[in-house]
């Protein structure tokens, strides 16, 4: 696959997009082939952004060509392969399967983009929730997602085009 100018190209610790270069963070397991849930690997390959989520109490609604959802107090993401709703958004509290809260006390999910890795039609155990999201601090490893400074993430989401791809490569 040959990257194009409109693609977001991710290598370990660096991203190129629209002629610009940005630092980024990838999974603690590096970039490679996903082995399963919790492996910390950022999946290599070519992906699309399917939808965007944001915290309306913290950031303004991002401009995006596709679905944009507000993150509410009860929004979660299922990461349990036994859950019939595995690798999708749902609502808590009292959700009986393993999940991650989308509304966090830190800023990681103030804005996020869902990649189409194992989504929306998920294969249980293949790995869930590969997001582009806000980083904890520069280049601090993620659980498998790709993370950016908040202003870089907003730039990527708001300048995204339907033909754009996220190309994740091993260095």
Write down all domains in the chain, each with its CATH number in brackets.
Answer: 8-168 (2.40.440)
Among candidate residues 138, 142, 147, the one with its CA nearest the CA of residue 166: 147
Instruction: Look at residue 55 in the predicted model and tell me its pLDDT.
Output: 98
Q: Are 103 and 71 a contacting pair, CB within 8 Å?
A: yes
Instruction: Look at residue 4 in the predicted model and tell me its pLDDT.
Output: 82
Instruction: Look at residue 37 in the predicted model and tell me its pLDDT.
Output: 87
Instruction: Look at residue 164 in the predicted model and tell me its pLDDT.
Output: 97
In 26-94, DSSP assigns E strands to 31-32, 42-43, 45-47, 49-54, 68-70, 75-78, 89-91
**Model-level pTM?**
0.95
Instruction: Look at residue 92 in the predicted model and tell me its pLDDT.
Output: 81
Give me the phi and psi of 142, to 5 degrees please.
Answer: -105, -175
Instruction: Look at residue 136 in the predicted model and tell me its pLDDT.
Output: 96
Q: Are 86 and 78 a contacting pair, CB within 8 Å?
A: yes
Instruction: Measure the CA–CA gap between 47 and 171, rounded to whole angstroms.
Output: 17
Instruction: Look at residue 80 in the predicted model and tell me its pLDDT.
Output: 93
46-86: pLDDT as tens digits:
999 999 999 999 999 999 999 999 999 999 999 999 999 99
| Mean pLDDT, the chain cut into blocks of 10 residues (171 residues total) | 88 94 97 92 97 98 97 96 94 89 97 97 91 95 97 98 96 77
- C-alpha 98 chain-centroid distance: 18
């Amino acid at each position: 696959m040959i990257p194009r100018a409109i693609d977001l190209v991710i290598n370990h610790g660096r991203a190129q997009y629209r002629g610009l270069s940005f630092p980024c963070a990838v999974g603690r397991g590096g970039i490679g082939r996903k082995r399963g849930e919790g492996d910390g690997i950022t999946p290599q390959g070519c992906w699309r952004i399917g939808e965007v989520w944001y915290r309306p109490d913290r950031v303004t609604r991002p401009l995006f060509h596709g679905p944009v959802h507000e993150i509410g107090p009860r929004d979660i993401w299922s990461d349990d392969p036994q859950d019939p709703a595995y690798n999708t958004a749902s609502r808590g509290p009292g959700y009986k399967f393993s999940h991650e809260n989308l509304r966090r006390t830190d800023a990681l999910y103030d804005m996020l983009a869902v990649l189409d890795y194992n989504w929306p039609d998920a294969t249980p155990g293949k790995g869930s929730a590969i997001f582009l999201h806000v980083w904890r601090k520069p280049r601090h490893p993620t659980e498998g997602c790709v993370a950016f400074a908040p202003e870089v993430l907003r730039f990527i989401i708001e300048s995204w085009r339907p033909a754009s791809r996220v190309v994740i490569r091993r260095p």
